[in-house]
Structure 1
Amino acid sequence: MYPHITYPEAIVVGLIQGITELFPISSLGHNVLIPALVGGRWAVDLNVSEPESPYLAFIVGMHVATALAMIAYFWRDWLRIIRGFFGSVGHVVSPAPGTRRWQPQTVEQRLAWMIILATVPVGLAGVALEHDFRVYFSKPVLTASFLAVNGLILFAGEAVRRRRAGLDAQQSVADRQMAAVGGGGPGTPRHAAGQRALKQREAGLAAQADRRLTQVGWLSAFGLGAAQILALLPGISRDGVVMVSGMFRGLSRQDAARFSFLLSAPVILAAGVLKVPDLTGPLGDGVRGQVLVGSLLSFAGAYLALRFLVRYFAQNRTLTPFASYCLVVGVGSAIYLGIT
């Protein structure tokens, strides 16, 4: 019987996809492991390594929905970044007087080009390797092993962070600044004027965070983007490896997480858009309703997860809980799937 996707499967996987895409615990890893652990019809319907499975069309819809949720959450930041990009292009056409060569002039312009530069390596690798990586590595036991490795990567990031004792004073300042991002504590004003003041404050703090990010330099931005290639392996988290790479380069957890979230949106959206023919073509036949339901839940899950994580890292919380989760679930799943 040709594989199909039921509405219960769409509901569960759509919600989990949205949440796990932003948490540093690998959405693709969960997309592979959950059907394998549940077994039965789920293992047939939701087989990501099967070349002609409608699950591929389903994943396309969820990826696009997740990217849209990230853009919606950071829409003010994206407006600044997009304006910066077009402003930098304007300098190419009409360079500033007295300048010998083109270079981005503002924080927004530099951040826009850093995101573009960081997207290039994973974009090229994704086009060239995504199919092979998905087909050959998306096996449940292998995925569980990669998830455990992801946990070790997160532990390594925290170990490096603890050794950087000289950054504690700078980190504490960044923590206090970023604590307001995402809104709200008990003293948050509820009236219209107070909300406007809060949004202005958040915009100012976001701009300060972007200023710190642009100080890492072009080569580091390229390296952070290249780290995402590891996430082609199911079980390795895109956000996790970018955060850890940023922490290795001296970024605070908040700033590393912010760059990871900003960088993820265009990568995930581009990956989804490139696969739209899977959704509109024969693979999408009979599952488009399920795709719509799963995508709506993925959008909601991603938005709420992002809101939680911004506040979580604003409180200087660590990656250790996520690392422990990945290690325990990865090892446990590998053992269970290996003996069944």
Structure 2
Amino acid sequence: MDHISYFQAIVIGLLQGVTELFPISSLGHSILVPAWIGGSWTALVTDQSKAESPYLAFIVALHVATALALVALFWRDWVGIVRGFFTSLVHRRIETTHERLAWLIVVSTIPAGLLGLVLEHPLRTLFAKPLFAAVFLTLNGLVLFAAERLRRRAPRHRPAPDAVDAEGPVPGLDVAMTQQVSVRDAGVIGLLQSGALLAGISRSGITMAGGLLRGLTHEEAVRFAFLLATPIILAAGVLKVPDLMGPLGEGIRAQSLAGAGAAFVAALAAATFLQRWFKTRTLTPFAVYCLVAGVLSIVRFA
């Protein structure tokens, strides 16, 4: 691959920071946007489907930056969740809201993480191409539409006030999550998260859809999606970051830092925007976008 330019790195970093959190697939956009632009950007797309990919190593650095942005935004929550995890181990219990939330995250992360380790490489080399990304982006739009229709059949929502447990203050949104979502539900959502291994399928979109179908409000579902996404994105990034220290990182390390900085800022802005958006709005506009962009991309790359 020709060395990625700083301009390309920053543009893709901004794109990653936004599309990782918006329910529209960051991996799909990291393929489709360069493919639509063409020229020297096309090499970035063809490189991603290779067995050893410098562009993928670069994208992973952007994922780490996005996860760090979520940690920075929800650090108070994560302090309580980590404490809850360890107190539940020490006392062999799952009683407080933070303890329950910690185990929901663990149960959801395990299947997605294991499937990612096994399937990431074969799925990437097979499907990291513009036409496949376009098809899966269209499918992602249908999933979002279906979630909005089927949520009417979800279990009754039980709103909850803010509270305090042994690990500290707990927002009412988190209390509601642990009331509406069971450990079994978390495991199913974890399996569904692995769909994000397919370029065009959104991790946050699938998680939000799962939350809505369990009776969460849109505001609770997006918060749930952000909390569940943080460890899996961060773990995948940390696992792949050593690639940047080896031969795959030659000539792109500085550009990766520039792109990661852009992704961090964009992710903070995107997360803040989405939390406000879903207080009163739905997934439908994102579903429409995925369908339109997906169909146009199918026509373009078929």
TM-score, length of structure 2 as denominator length: 0.93
Q: Is 1:147 matched up with 2:137?
A: yes
Q: In 2, distance between residues paired with 1:53 and 1:81?
A: 35
SS in 2 for 1:22: coil
- Alignment coverage as a number of residue pairs: 295
For 1:100-148, what per-residue CA distance to the aligned partner results, in whole angstroms no more than 9, with x for missing partners?
xx32121101111111111000000000000011110111011101000
Structure 2, gaps ≥5 residues long: 163-167
Identity %: 54
1:66 alignment counterpart: 66
Tell me the equivalent position of 1:336.
Answer: 300
1:242–1:256 contact (8 Å) kept in structure 2:
yes
Secondary structure at the counterpart of residue 256 of structure 1: helix
Instruction: Tell me if the contact between 1:37 and 1:337 (Cα under 8 Å) persists in the aligned partners.
Output: no
* Alpha-carbon displacement from aligned partner over 1:39-88 (angstroms, at most 9, x marks no partner): 12111134311223321221121011000000000011001111111211
1:16-165 paired onto structure 2 within 5 Å? 16-46=15-45, 47-91=47-91, 102-162=92-152
| TM-score normalised by length of structure 1 | 0.83
Aligned to 1:8: 7
Rg comparison, structure with higher value: 1
**Is the CA contact 2:134–2:298 (under 8 Å) kept in the aligned structure 1?**
yes
Cα shift readout 1:136-180 (whole Å, capped 9, x = no counterpart): 01110111010000000000011112455x84xx58x67xx79xx
1:209-248, aligned counterparts within 5 Å?
209-215=173-179, 216-248=181-213
Counterpart secondary structure, 2:171: helix
Offset, 1:226: 1.3
What CA distance in whole angstroms lies between the structure 2 residues aligned with 1:87 and 1:161?
A: 34
Q: Provide the C-alpha distance between the structure 2 equivalents of 1:117 and 1:150, rounded to a whole number of angstroms.
A: 24
> 2:277 maps to which residue?
312
Q: How many angstroms does 1:303 deviate by?
A: 0.6
SS in 2 for 1:292: helix
Q: Conserved in 1, the CA contact under 8 Å of 2:153 and 2:213?
A: no
Note if contact 2:48-2:55 (Cα within 8 Å) is conserved in structure 1. Answer: yes
Q: What is the match of residue 198 of structure 1?
A: none
**What is the rounded CA distance, in whole Å, between the counterparts of 2:278 and 2:184 in structure 1?**
25
Q: Please tell me the residue identity of whatever aligns with 1:267.
A: I
How far residue 90 of structure 1 moved from its aligned partner, in angstroms, is: 1.8
* Cα contact 1:33–1:144 (8 A) shared by 2: yes
Structure 1 gaps, min length 5: 92-101, 179-202
